Structure 1
């Protein structure tokens, strides 16, 4: 009985560590996709950012803030995954 519990504990710990690292890499990839899509939106709205319409400028700045935020989330998740290994 004790041997089975020890074997289960011996297998569970590395599996738990690997699954957490994989989860961080997966969420980091999704955040990177969002950051890339906001970067594309920045590129498409850059010409209107200097227009007289304030909504265009605010949209451009919002895309910049969101791209930086999701890039930060992506990098931090990959660093957490690296720390788990």
Structure 2
């Protein structure tokens, strides 16, 4: 179903049943899910802020209370401190989990890179060796065909010095490029067997 920019406004319409839909989704249900998610995120942020701003519970315990009249207030403070202590412990655990998760993501990313790029590098290296072997083979065939055409000038005489040198040069080129061609395919074969 193709939707253009001009048809965007036409996508939000009543489907005949009285509920508004947005690309086939019920807007009431979408709003409810969005509201629940927003409230949960706000509660999480509020808990993190409370944990970060809570006082150190061990410092309050060392100060202590001196009077019985303050005993009731102290017990209320201890409850607040206990809840603050729990929140600070929870914040510490959350921070440790964040650090551990970050390390895990980093380690997982490295493993993913090795898993994806390792075979790619190996195969691309093997493919590169085969490709260069093909080009060296093309040059060897070209030099060999030139040498075959000039085979009549094998023996040097006074009249055919230049053709004789061209023949020798073509033979040397055919041998060198043939060696490079064969060695490239042998290296590619070895690299393929290492896996």
TM-score with structure 2 setting the length: 0.42
1:31 equivalent in structure 2: 136
Q: Is 1:57 aligned to residue 164 of structure 2? A: yes
In 2, the alpha carbon distance for the partners of 1:14 and 1:33 equals 28
User: Structure 1 stretches of 5 or more lacking a match?
Assistant: none
Alignment of 1:1-85 (within 5 A): 1=105, 2-50=107-155, 52=157, 53-85=160-192
Deviation digits for residues 18-77 of structure 1 (CA, Å, limit 9, x no counterpart): 100000000000000000000110111111333522112111111100000000000000
Task: Determine which structure has the larger helix proportion and give its number.
Answer: 1
Larger radius of gyration: 2
In 2, the alpha carbon distance for the partners of 1:61 and 1:48 equals 9
Equivalenced residues, count: 85
Q: Secondary structure at the match of 1:50?
A: coil
RCO comparison, higher one (Cα < 8 Å, 6+)? 1
